[in-house]
């Protein structure tokens, strides 16, 4: 029977992976270097991850797993809060370097792109699901339509808009996600969200 994984060892390896990406980039990173930085044998690394792609995606996913949606009593404040937290996360060099590296590599690697979507993107959509459910319970948004496929499309679109805007702001345009920007973004999004949610209702067809 396989021995259980050691959480401290996993954390050391993922920390070492992100540090290596900051210093060396994707092309310079090697499994041997990560093992050396983490103080483990290469065999330990390969027992956990079959290759560099899987390792780097998990290093990215672990960072984003720390992102939480605050419960501040209303949708606007919740949205501003998570946008500010997301922006702060992307300002960390180890986060931005790891994300840019894996996204750039995934552009020409369909298998890596699929793993990135499943491990990072799909896992973080729970933030949108939670935010909508809270807003619906408060009466700020209408309840979900009976069409579950339409609900999934709404969640996907909201995630793309929020994540895309913050990533572009931080990593492409080089701007900061401060409280003023988050407030303006929330106002813009919520102004359109009411109309979009209405189209998902039966009488909005």
Question: Does the pTM exceed 0.95?
Answer: no
**Phi, psi at residue 58, to the nearest 5°?**
-65, -35
Task: Identify whether 2 is part of a domain.
Answer: no
Q: Are residues 108 and 27 in the same domain?
A: no
Task: Identify whether 140 is part of a domain.
Answer: yes
The per-residue pLDDT for 152 is: 92
Q: Which residues of the chain have pLDDT under 50?
A: 1-2, 204-205
Mean pLDDT for the chain overall: 90
Task: Identify whether 205 is part of a domain.
Answer: no
Number of domain units in the chain: 2
Q: Are residues 132 and 116 in the same domain?
A: yes
Task: Identify whether 77 is part of a domain.
Answer: yes
Burial class (CB in 10 A: 0-12, 13-18, 19+), 173: exposed
| Structural contact between residues 166 and 177, judged by C-beta atoms closer than 8 angstroms | yes
Q: Are residues 74 and 174 in the same domain?
A: yes
User: Which structural domain, as residue segments, surrounds residue 22?
Assistant: 7-56
Q: Are residues 51 and 131 in the same domain?
A: no
Question: What does the alpha-carbon distance between residue 170 and residue 190 come to, in Å, rounded to a whole number?
Answer: 21
Tell me how crowded residue 69 is: count the other CB atoms within 10 A of its CB. 17
The per-residue pLDDT for 69 is: 93
Question: The domain spanning residue 26 has which CATH number?
Answer: 1.10.10.60
Q: Are residues 33 and 82 in the same domain?
A: no
Task: Identify whether 36 is part of a domain.
Answer: yes
Of the candidates 99, 104, 110, the residue with the CA atom closest to the CA atom of residue 170: 99
Question: The domain spanning residue 135 has which CATH number?
Answer: 1.10.357.10
Task: Identify whether 111 is part of a domain.
Answer: yes
């Amino acid at each position: 029977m396989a021995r259980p994984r050691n959480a401290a060892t996993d954390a050391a390896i993922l920390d070492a992976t992100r540090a290596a990406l900051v210093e060396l980039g994707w092309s310079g990173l090697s499994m041997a270097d990560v093992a050396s930085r983490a103080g483990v044998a290469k065999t330990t690394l390969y027992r956990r991850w079959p290759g560099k792609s899987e390792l780097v995606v998990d290093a990215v996913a672990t960072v984003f797993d720390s992102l939480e949606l605050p419960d501040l009593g209303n949708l606007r404040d919740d949205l501003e809060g998570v946008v500010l937290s997301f922006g702060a996360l992307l300002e960390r060099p180890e986060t931005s370097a790891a994300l840019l590296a894996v996204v750039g590599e995934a552009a020409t690697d369909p298998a890596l792109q699929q793993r990135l979507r499943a491990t990072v993107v799909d896992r973080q959509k729970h933030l949108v699901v939670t935010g909508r459910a809270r807003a619906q319970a408060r009466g700020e948004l209408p309840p979900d339509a009976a069409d579950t496929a339409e609900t999934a499309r709404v969640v996907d679109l909201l995630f793309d808009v929020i994540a895309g805007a913050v990533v572009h702001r931080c990593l492409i345009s080089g701007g900061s996600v401060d409280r003023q920007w988050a407030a303006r973004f929330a106002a813009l999004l919520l102004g359109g969200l009411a109309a979009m949610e209405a189209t998902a209702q039966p009488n909005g067809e």
